[in-house]
């Protein structure tokens, strides 16, 4: 399984066109204006981590809250580039191991006639018995993995016939074909972190480190643990020296966000962590302590980190961490949409370059 990305070229994905990023670092901070493609770039990494149609459909739902059968197909359609010259998704990725991946999902959405009786699960559930004229994606998903050690390529290609009626069937399949271990934390994931909480509770050594970090939000926090509720279902709780054991839901968003980040780092062990809008729910006074924790925890679990931010204050706090700046462990990547050429352009600077320009010229790295 691959552990770190060295280079990625996004020929077409959502609004990203002909974006090439080289020499990616241990920590990569993506900045830029709204709609510049920061979130789309994180989704690119999530997409290629598991090159199956199942993963592609599930990845599209990170931006929405309500899921219905047709939602998966609608969001999948929105994921395809709107540029006339690029009707599909095409991505190339080089890893630090020397291996590489070419990923493509190409095809067209056309109107077609569907007989719901052929889709038994849906026809029974919704009582459908008439022929429907609906949109359908006809295409192929393919990936070509090149192994540098053997100098051989493994190419897999599958036909895809996807429409609003059968998209839900793909999402319940448990396809496992991971090339990388990738954990994605959206701006609202801290509201429900049960899938990451256990990663902390099960690791006593790491839990102690996390608890120390949580004390920046509440110095009375002593432990994080599961406690059974009235129905004997485990719920996430925090032990407080002043008020005892209380549900995590009673705490503010800062504690929840910190726990989601900590759990995400542990879950991404020897893999990649994606954090969208890092600054969400974190007060500016805690930026430096949170960043220091993230840096140490990512080193402990050997995690490559990609984060997005809109905050220049967050950028400045990162630049104060001498160990990151001096060791050249962090890159700042600015994305910008060139509307004339309809391409995504980028600028990559080292932390040293950004800090020197911030200090001497009040440099604005986000544009």
SS3 295: helix
> From CA 96, how far away is CA 29, in angstroms rounded?
19
Give the pLDDT of residue 142.
92
Average pLDDT, the chain: 87
Pick from 245, 272, 262, 257: nearest CA to 202: 262
Mean pLDDT check: name the lowest of 173-177, 268-272, 337-341, 354-358: 173-177
Say if residues 193 and 235 touch (Cβ distance below 8 Å).
no
**Choice between 123 and 321, residue whose per-residue pLDDT is larger:** 321
Query: What pTM was estimated for this model as a whole?
Result: 0.90
Per-residue DSSP letters for 201-251? Answer: HT-HHHHHHHHHHHTTT-TTEEEEEEEE-TTS-EEEEEEETTTEEEEGGGS
Can you tell me the mean pLDDT for 14-43?
A: 92
Alpha-carbon radius of gyration of the chain: 22
> Is pLDDT of 27 > 80?
yes
**Choice between 159 and 51, residue whose per-residue pLDDT is larger:** 159
> CATH 3.40.50.300 in the chain, residues?
184-361
Give the pLDDT of residue 259.
92
Q: Reading across the β-sheet that carries 234-240, which strands appear in turn?
A: 221-228, 234-240, 244-247
> Is pLDDT of 20 > 80?
yes
Can you tell me the mean pLDDT for 228-248?
A: 91
Say if residues 14 and 37 touch (Cβ distance below 8 Å).
yes
Q: Which residues contact 360 (CB under 8 A, 6 or more apart)?
A: none
Say if residues 26 and 294 touch (Cβ distance below 8 Å).
no
How do residues 111-134 score in pLDDT, each as one tens digit?
887 766 655 544 445 555 566 778
Can you tell me the mean pLDDT for 322-348?
A: 88
Residue 118, classified by CB atoms within 10 Å of its CB into exposed (0-12), middle (13-18) or buried (19+), is exposed
> Is pLDDT of 69 > 70?
no
Pick from 274, 263, 264, 322: nearest CA to 28: 274
Percent of the chain with pLDDT over 90: 53
How do residues 340-349 score in pLDDT, each as one tens digit?
777 899 999 9
Give the pLDDT of residue 307.
96
> Is pLDDT of 93 > 90?
yes
How do residues 293-305 score in pLDDT, each as one tens digit?
999 999 999 999 9
Q: Reading across the β-sheet that carries 152-162, which strands appear in turn?
A: 16-21, 5-13, 89-95, 100-114, 132-147, 152-162
Which helix (DSSP H) or strand (DSSP E) does residue 110 occupy? Answer: strand 100-114
Ramachandran class of 35: left when φ > 0, alpha when ψ lies in -120 to 50, beta otherwise: left
**Cα–Cα separations (whole angstroms), residue 100 to 46, 95, 154, 216, 271:** 16, 6, 11, 42, 16
State the alpha helices, DSSP H only, in 50-166: 53-60, 69-79, 120-126
CATH code at 184-361 = 3.40.50.300
């Amino acid at each position: 399984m691959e552990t770190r990305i060295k280079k990625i070229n996004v020929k077409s994905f959502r609004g990203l066109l002909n974006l090439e990023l080289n020499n990616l670092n241990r920590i990569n901070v993506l900045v830029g204006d709204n709609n510049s493609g920061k979130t789309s770039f994180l989704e690119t990494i999530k997409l290629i981590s598991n090159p199956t149609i199942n993963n592609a459909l599930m990845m599209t739902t990170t931006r929405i809250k309500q899921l219905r059968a047709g939602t998966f197909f609608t969001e999948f359609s929105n994921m395809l580039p709107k540029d006339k010259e690029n009707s599909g998704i095409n991505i190339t990725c080089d890893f630090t191991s020397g291996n590489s991946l070419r990923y493509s999902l190409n095809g067209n959405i056309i109107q077609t006639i569907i007989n719901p009786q052929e889709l038994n699960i849906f026809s029974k559930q919704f009582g459908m018995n008439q022929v429907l004229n609906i949109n359908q994606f006809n295409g192929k998903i393919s990936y070509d993995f090149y192994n540098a050690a053997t100098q051989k390529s493994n190419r897999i290609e599958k036909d895809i016939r996807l429409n609003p009626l059968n998209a839900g069937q793909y999402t319940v399949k448990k396809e496992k074909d991971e090339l990388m271990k990738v954990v994605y934390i959206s701006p609202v994931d801290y509201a429900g972190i049960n899938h990451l909480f256990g990663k902390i509770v099960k690791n006593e050594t790491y839990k102690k480190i996390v608890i120390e970090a949580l004390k920046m939000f509440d110095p009375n926090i002593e432990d994080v643990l599961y406690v059974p509720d009235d129905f004997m279902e485990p719920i996430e709780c925090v032990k407080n020296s002043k008020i005892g054991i209380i549900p995590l839901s009673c705490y503010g968003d800062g504690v929840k966000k910190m726990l989601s980040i900590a759990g995400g780092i542990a879950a991404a062990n020897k893999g990649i962590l994606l954090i969208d809008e890092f600054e969400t729910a974190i007060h500016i006074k805690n930026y430096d302590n949170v960043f220091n924790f993230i840096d140490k925890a990512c080193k402990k679990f050997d995690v490559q980190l990609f984060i997005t931010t809109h905050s220049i204050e967050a950028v400045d706090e990162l630049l104060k961490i001498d160990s990151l700046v001096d060791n050249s462990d962090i890159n700042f990547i600015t994305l910008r949409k060139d509307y004339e050429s309809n391409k995504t352009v980028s600028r990559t600077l080292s932390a040293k370059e950004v800090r020197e320009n911030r200090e001497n010229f009040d440099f604005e790295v986000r544009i």
